[in-house]
């Protein structure tokens, strides 16, 4: 296994015509951009390289953009934004989700409740009144844990409800904290025998949408992410080269000092564990 160890994106940039960038853990930490990230993005755009931000955020892009702008990430830094919330909405709207799109129970915080707004379906207050479950996360990921949802998931399973998972991530960075995501609830539901449909990375539907938006073949794209399970495995499955940012989700696993890279043994073990292999590794997104 030969994985390039990079000081910056510049070492590989000329090989590609476009870039797919993760948000949380790559561009920002949920509160502020990482040092050097915006400068790197601006440099790529000056070279005429389109940048598509692909996020497992369980909200529509239109609702993520104001949060990015508050952090100083705006249209000058990227060309397009696609979220797992967008993909979930599209699946319900087009019927590809294969659920009775009338009444749904939304398992997740109020900030995500606009995912299906305006479609021919209605959010209901109880599971027994719903046709399916839309899961975008915990109601309160600051005070609750997935274990708190055992009874809710058991009731959904008893009713044989399909769950649409609008964020396949297990955890995400929020400043220095790691907080649980919808993927953990979906995993627990599957373990109870529940049916789950996932929208977002690492599933191929997300990358097919990226290819369509960028108008570029997979071989001419580079994906940058901080998670082997979603970002890198998804790129692998779509035939897209990838770079793993090691200062994100996996940094604690490797006990890394800021700016350092895991050794060859650490990265090899992690790749084997998650069944994903990046083309290169980099400490953070920088030119």
Alpha helices in the chain (DSSP H): 10-13, 37-46, 61-70, 84-94, 150-158, 182-191, 204-214, 233-238, 251-254, 264-274
For 131, phi then psi, to 5°, come to: -95, -25
Looking at the structure, tell me whether residues 244 and 193 fall in a common domain: no
Q: In what order do the strands lie in the sheet with 103-107?
A: 122-124, 103-107, 132-135, 162-165, 196-198
Looking at the structure, tell me whether residues 190 and 227 fall in a common domain: no
Domain assignment present for residue 90? The answer is no
Domain assignment present for residue 217? The answer is yes
Q: How many separate domains does the chain show?
A: 2
Looking at the structure, tell me whether residues 102 and 194 fall in a common domain: yes
User: Domain boundary residue among 155, 182, 198?
Assistant: 198
Looking at the structure, tell me whether residues 42 and 107 fall in a common domain: no
First-to-last C-alpha distance (Å) of the chain: 25
Looking at the structure, tell me whether residues 127 and 172 fall in a common domain: yes
Looking at the structure, tell me whether residues 262 and 234 fall in a common domain: yes
Domain assignment present for residue 178? The answer is yes
Looking at the structure, tell me whether residues 118 and 177 fall in a common domain: yes
Cα separation, 160 vs 151, whole angstroms: 14
Domain assignment present for residue 40? The answer is yes
The owner of tokens 């399970």 is: 229
Give the structural domain span for 8. 4-56+206-282
Residue by residue, pLDDT tens for the chain (287 residues) are 689 999 999 999 999 999 999 998 999 988 899 999 999 999 999 999 999 999 999 999 999 999 999 999 988 899 999 999 999 999 999 999 988 778 999 999 999 999 999 999 999 999 999 999 999 999 988 888 889 999 999 999 999 999 999 999 998 767 677 788 999 999 999 999 999 999 999 999 999 999 999 999 999 999 999 999 999 999 999 999 999 999 988 888 898 888 899 999 999 999 999 999 999 999 999 99
CB-CB neighbours of 160 under 10 Å: 9
Q: How far is CA 220 from CA 65, 117, 262, in A?
A: 27, 36, 27
Looking at the structure, tell me whether residues 172 and 123 fall in a common domain: yes
Looking at the structure, tell me whether residues 33 and 118 fall in a common domain: no
Q: How far is CA 234 from CA 43, 154, 178, 262, 285, in A?
A: 26, 30, 21, 21, 19
Looking at the structure, tell me whether residues 193 and 247 fall in a common domain: no
Cα separation, 2 vs 281, whole angstroms: 11
For 46-67, the DSSP string reads HTT--EEEEE--SS-HHHHHHH
- Provide the pLDDT for residue 142: 81
Task: Give Dmax over CA atoms of the chain in angstroms.
Answer: 55
Looking at the structure, tell me whether residues 145 and 192 fall in a common domain: yes
Domain assignment present for residue 91? The answer is no
Residues contacting residue 198 through CB under 8 Å, at least 6 positions apart: 165, 168, 183, 186
User: Domain boundary residue among 170, 198, 226?
Assistant: 198
Domain assignment present for residue 82? The answer is no
User: Domain boundary residue among 176, 198, 220?
Assistant: 198
- Provide the pLDDT for residue 177: 75
Domain assignment present for residue 85? The answer is no
For position 234, which CATH number holds?
3.40.50.1000
Looking at the structure, tell me whether residues 235 and 166 fall in a common domain: no
Domain assignment present for residue 74? The answer is no
């Amino acid at each position: 296994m030969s994985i390039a160890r990079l000081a910056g994106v510049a070492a590989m940039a000329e090989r590609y015509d476009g870039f797919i960038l993760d948000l949380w853990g790559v561009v920002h930490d949920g509160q502020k951009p990482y040092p050097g990230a915006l400068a790197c993005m601006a440099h790529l755009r000056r070279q005429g390289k389109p940048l598509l931000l692909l996020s497992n955020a369980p909200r529509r892009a239109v609702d993520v953009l104001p949060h990015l702008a508050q952090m100083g990430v705006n249209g000058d830094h990227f060309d397009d934004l696609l979220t797992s919330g967008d993909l979930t909405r599209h699946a319900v709207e087009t019927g590809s989700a294969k659920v009775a799109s009338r009444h749904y129970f939304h398992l997740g915080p109020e900030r995500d409740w606009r995912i299906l707004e305006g479609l021919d379906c209605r959010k209901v207050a109880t599971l027994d009144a719903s046709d399916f479950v839309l899961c975008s996360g915990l109601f309160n990921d600051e005070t609750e844990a997935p274990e708190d949802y055992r009874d809710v998931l058991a009731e959904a399973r008893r009713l044989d409800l399909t769950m649409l998972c609008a964020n396949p991530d297990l955890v995400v960075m929020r400043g220095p904290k790691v907080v649980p995501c919808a993927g953990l609830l979906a995993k627990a539901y599957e373990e109870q025998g529940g049916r789950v449909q996932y929208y977002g990375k690492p599933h191929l539907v997300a990358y097919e949408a990226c290819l369509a938006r960028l108008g570029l073949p997979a071989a001419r794209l580079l994906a940058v992410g901080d998670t082997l399970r979603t970002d890198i495995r998804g790129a692998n499955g779509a035939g897209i080269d990838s770079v793993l940012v090691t200062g994100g989700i996996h940094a604690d696993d490797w006990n890394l000092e800021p700016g350092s890279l895991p050794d060859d043994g650490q990265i090899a073990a992690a790749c084997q564990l998650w069944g994903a292999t990046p083309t290169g590794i980099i400490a953070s997104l920088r030119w």
